[in-house]
Structure 1
């Protein structure tokens, strides 16, 4: 006997039996019935603009759930690669992110639905890249930082979220939803009136409060486009909530906020501080960590902040540092058990103010008598880091 249930496309799982399509974006009626046997089938429904389906819960394929679990597990057991091996793929992925987010921006400004499926696929690629090498993509994107735009901010936040998801071995499907939130959480800012598109640091307190409407804008964009996971929507909606209840829009306190929303707030604020996004004076990595620590545990969760620092590093990949010998280079990668001794790609000598032969220095090496003195601003030495990767 049939037992029908109406569900969102985001809750459709492998093994479900689709009786009918009940809601869609397209004006052309889509007729799809039968079992969902793989992830590709769900992706095709999303691509065709399906938002809601009717399933028969008495026709669930028992083996499908095992197949789905096996598929996700295999995706998380990818062979790790060296920095150089992953760099080629990472560069292609960065180009893909730039192209897709620019197209997304255009569609938003044209009041058209955005391609959630394409963004979801990029989120999967980010997770796969971070699984292959935890620091390569992060290093590349930070080094190629140019416009200080909303779109660049979305990329950096998404990658740091992926690093945390992979490090803590969060399930692949949940990780995708979290990283997708990173790629989309500020899209609503693109619809703000011109006077509110200024950097937040330049606005009056009254205009800053008014500017928070971008959170609602973001949710509207995601809902109209269809197919956005509920977890993604929840994170985007709670992105400006703070532990002491001073946030927006519901003034939720620590007890009411899920762990992922607390972590998201830390990562979002960290990138704003270290990139100068939102008009803040650019803070060096150690100063940004200190600023966040000073706001914990009242604004940010102290334990999650410490976990974030452990995951992304005391000196995050792509940041510029000066060694005690005067050499300058960017953080290439590090081992989590010895974060103070990363591999630094050196190419300049501050003491003599000239370039040197570029080479990697592994500060954890047995015969290396050098260490990090400080983080530095590339502008201080007029360095364009993208020339050295």
Structure 2
């Protein structure tokens, strides 16, 4: 049986099935294995790990612990509680209308990001005007209907992670800031910071940055330096706002001091730094990488809740979930009718009843003509049973979003 225990209950000869630490990007610890000695446990504590999952069939048991099934039920209850209340209106236009403009903006963003990554790699100065213009365009799109850019953020290519992650992070920060009614200027500087937060990774050798296996201690130390590189590059760039620097500098800080590069805690991290920590983890754990398979959006939200209060600011995690919905755009869901659907837009009235595109019949095991249904309408005869893994059904969700 798989159980979750606190780190204080971990003992030698237990078998760890999951370190539960994907809130530490690029961590250099094995995901699972038998605990050989107390020294390893002390090292895990030093890294800030608070809870792990153990396999009681492969190692020593712990009676006073929740089973994985009980944890899942607990996380679902937390998700339902976090999502209570109405969502803000998506915007003034339909997602279909906004998708045309959003596609052009997304392509423009990829071009700008590609150019700046090349410029920095060859030591050329950072041109800020393009990012100011891009951030303004993104804010306008988010205000018109944030679901359009959110849809495009679910269309990923493994080889372009650095570029796409930076764009996605800016979009997520825009949606988050809009939901919190943050003023436009702060929203702008925060989104520029999100676009440029990982610019320092250009200074990290590719064989370390894209290594599929476990990093050694020296490689992990090199990876963590990317935040310092980003911070220093932005600080010396004319026209960059201090908040933009803070967003880039604090995206790996954690409220319990377990983050990097400074090990800041609580109020030492600015509000936007805490926000970008949440969105950065969310986007990272939902992406397929060379070293891990991405989680479904709803599963990722549950992980944020599991890590909140210790590593991530709990109240902000709840606000982020309300901004995204419990079934974020791009989620694949099983309907009560045994059909599968892709979530294409959240509902302002009821987060459990978004707008979906029906695409597949699970019992017949075949694709069916696509049908868009607003589940919040009284005329709807169907509802969502649960979120499912697209890989299990061999469905490429991105094919049904653009």
2:238: which partner in 1? 226
How far apart in 1 are the matches of 2:287 and 2:307? 19
The residue aligned with 1:189 is 201
Q: Which residue of 2 aligns with 1:331?
A: 343
Q: How many pairs align?
A: 312
Q: Aligned partners of 2:237 and 2:311: how far apart in 1?
A: 32
**How far is the alpha carbon of 1:326 from its aligned partner?**
2.3
- Structure 2 residue matching 1:125: 3-state secondary structure: helix
* Corresponding residue of 2:154: 142
* 1:319-344: CA deviation from partner (whole Å, max 9, x where unpaired): 22222222222211122441110000
2:396 equivalent to 1:380? no
**Which residue of structure 2 lines up, in the alignment, with residue 168 of structure 1?**
180
Q: Please name the residue that 1:249 is paired with.
A: 261
Instruction: Report the Cα offset of residue 277 of structure 1.
Output: 4.4
Provide TM-score, normalisation by structure 2.
0.73
Q: 2:309 aligns with which of 285, 297, 311?
A: 297
1:336/1:146 Cα in 2 relative to 1: closer, same or farther (>3 Å)?
farther
| 1:214 maps onto 2:226 in alignment | yes
Please report how far the alpha carbon of residue 278 of structure 1 lies from its aligned counterpart in structure 2 after TM superposition.
Answer: 7.2
- Asked if the contact 1:139–1:331 (Cα under 8 Å) also holds between the matched residues in 2, the reply is no
Runs of 4+ in 1 over 6 A off after TM superposition: none
Deviation per CA, 1:47-83, whole angstroms, max 9, x where unpaired? xxxxxxxxxxxxxxxxxxxxxxxxxxxxxxx971111
Residue 229 of structure 1 and its aligned partner are, at CA, apart by 1.2
**Greater radius of gyration (CA):** 1
Does residue 120 in structure 1 map to residue 135 in structure 2?
no
Sort the Cα spacing of 1:250 and 1:386 in 2 relative to 1 into closer, same or farther, 3 A: closer
Give the Å deviation of 1:198: 2.6
Q: Secondary structure at the match of 1:133?
A: helix
**After the TM superposition, which of the residue ranges 315-324 and 181-190 deviates more from structure 2?**
315-324
2:253 is the counterpart of 1:236? no
Judging changes above 3 Å, is the alpha-carbon distance between structure 1 residues 379 and 148 closer, same or farther for their aligned structure 2 residues?
farther
User: Is 1:308–2:308 an aligned residue pair?
Assistant: no
**C-alpha RMSD of the superposition:** 2.1
Point out the more displaced range, 171-180 or 137-146: 137-146
Q: Highest relative contact order (Cα 8 Å, sep 6+), 1 or 2?
A: 2
Q: Which runs of 5+ in 2 are unaligned?
A: 1-89
From 87, 92, 108, the equivalent of 2:120 is 108
2:191 is equivalent to residue 152 of structure 1: no
TM superposition shift of 1:134: 2.3
